[in-house]
Structure 1
């Protein structure tokens, strides 16, 4: 009996002990359990992936809605700004027109006042000149009568 024989006998005993101890069943159960665990992990990973895709789609939809809302807000703000600018421009033009009209009225009134003042001064000077001229040429009684008549004529022309 040589060493090969004893190696064969030891191998057969080893295989018999392994079979008696049901090691292949234990290995099979262990492998089945590991396969089930891996299958469960894959299923969970698939579910998580689907949830992530759903969340991604929802967030993309919300982002698009938010971008649309932002664009609407920007458009509304631009429209409101344009309205405010046109309203301010209109109000400014109206203000300038009112101020110009008021200035024209003041200028016109100042012209009338100046003309009236010049007329009044001219009348006063004419009356004074007439009085002085008549005083040198006419006696005092005739002078007083002539002055009163001239004064009444000037007053009647002013009124």
Structure 2
């Protein structure tokens, strides 16, 4: 930077404008002519409203940048809103999934418990049916043994009675039996 300033000073120090002599307000003085030209240039720029146009262009550019920034902010806020919405929905869906899994586990446990109960009832019913079959078979066997015993006893009694009883005793037994039956019927 210092080199640039030194170079500029060296160039302007030896310029013919500094070498001009004579009155300053003369058209022969180059400094005065340059000053007048510069002032006329500035006046022309003001007359043509260049500073206003430059200001308008700068304002327009600033408004464009501001509107782009506002749009970027709005898009960012919308993106944050969408992100928050999706995060909330994700939490809701996760909560719902957790509830569904918990409900499914509970239903599975209840179904397993019911299956155990049903199995227990089925086993008890089969045991009861088997016990009833055993009792029936036992009763049938006892009845068969009794029937056999009665048949054998009747056969033995028949033989004993046939050997030891006489006709008068048999008639007396028949009469006693008929009397006994008559007494019980009346």
TM-score, reference length from structure 1: 0.69
Query: 115, 132, 151: which is aligned to 1:128?
Result: 151
How far did 1:31 drift? 3.8
Query: 112, 129, 143: which is aligned to 1:106?
Result: 129
Aligned equivalents of 1:32, 1:24: Cα separation in 2: 15
Query: 110, 118, 139: which is aligned to 1:95?
Result: 118
Which residue in 1 is equivalent to 2:92?
Answer: 69
Q: When you count helix as a share of all residues, which structure comes out higher?
A: 1
Which residue in 2 is equivalent to 1:154?
Answer: none
Q: Are positions 1:39 and 2:62 aligned together?
A: yes
Which residue in 2 is equivalent to 1:7?
Answer: none
Which residue in 1 is equivalent to 2:109?
Answer: 86
Aligned equivalents of 1:23, 1:72: Cα separation in 2: 70
Query: 41, 54, 58: which is aligned to 2:77?
Result: 54
How far did 1:35 drift? 2.6
TM-score, reference length from structure 2: 0.60
Which residue in 1 is equivalent to 2:34?
Answer: none
How far did 1:136 drift? 2.6
Q: Which runs of 5+ in 1 are unaligned?
A: 1-14, 149-159
Query: 97, 110, 116: which is aligned to 2:139?
Result: 116
Q: Which runs of 5+ in 2 are unaligned?
A: 1-39, 178-186
How far did 1:29 drift? 4.2
How far did 1:28 drift? 4.5
Higher relative contact order (CA 8 A, sep 6+): 1
